[in-house]
């Protein structure tokens, strides 16, 4: 019983350590590469909706793509849909923005994306 109690205390401590409030800029400049190597530019609007989740809307080349994301430590992940296919982007937070790697289900290769705050 004592071991179970200690394990629960450790788990609660670990979970509360990850419960920092999510802080993101509301507007980012997006610069990236597609899986074929072509480049793109646009913007991403972000709205934090809880202490760990956010909505994101990319505007790139006349297209609008909406997604939903969450955070774990210094990593953010978001899902989206392009032409009916689900996609996933994973960003690493650095000192001046977000560096990402993205893919679309069933498609070969991945793209990259850099989001730089523009508030």
Considering the entire predicted model, what is its pTM? 0.80
Using CA atoms, how far residue 113 sits from 3, 49, 60, 104, 106, in Å, is: 45, 23, 12, 14, 19
Domains with residue ranges and CATH for the chain: 22-117 (2.40.128.120)
Q: What is the pLDDT of residue 78?
A: 98
Q: What is the pLDDT of residue 23?
A: 82
DSSP 60-89: ETTEEEEEEEEEETTEEEEEEEETTEEEEE
The rounded average pLDDT for each run of 10 residues, N- to C-terminus, in the chain (119 residues) is: 41 46 89 97 96 95 96 94 96 93 97 94
Cα gap 62→21, rounded to integer Å = 33
Q: What backbone phi and psi angles, to 5 degrees, belong to 58?
A: -90, 140
């Amino acid at each position: 019983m004592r071991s179970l109690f200690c394990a629960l205390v450790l788990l609660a401590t670990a979970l509360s350590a990850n419960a920092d409030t999510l802080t993101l800029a509301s507007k980012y400049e997006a610069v990236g590469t597609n899986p074929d190597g072509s480049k793109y530019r646009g913007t991403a609007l972000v709205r934090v909706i809880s202490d760990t989740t956010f909505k994101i809307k990319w505007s790139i080349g006349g297209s609008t793509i909406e997604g939903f994301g969450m955070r774990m430590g210094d990593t953010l992940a978001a899902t989206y849909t392009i032409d009916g296919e689900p996609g996933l982007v994973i960003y690493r937070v650095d000192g001046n923005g977000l560096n990402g790697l993205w893919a679309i289900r069933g498609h070969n290769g991945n793209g990259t994306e850099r989001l730089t705050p523009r508030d």
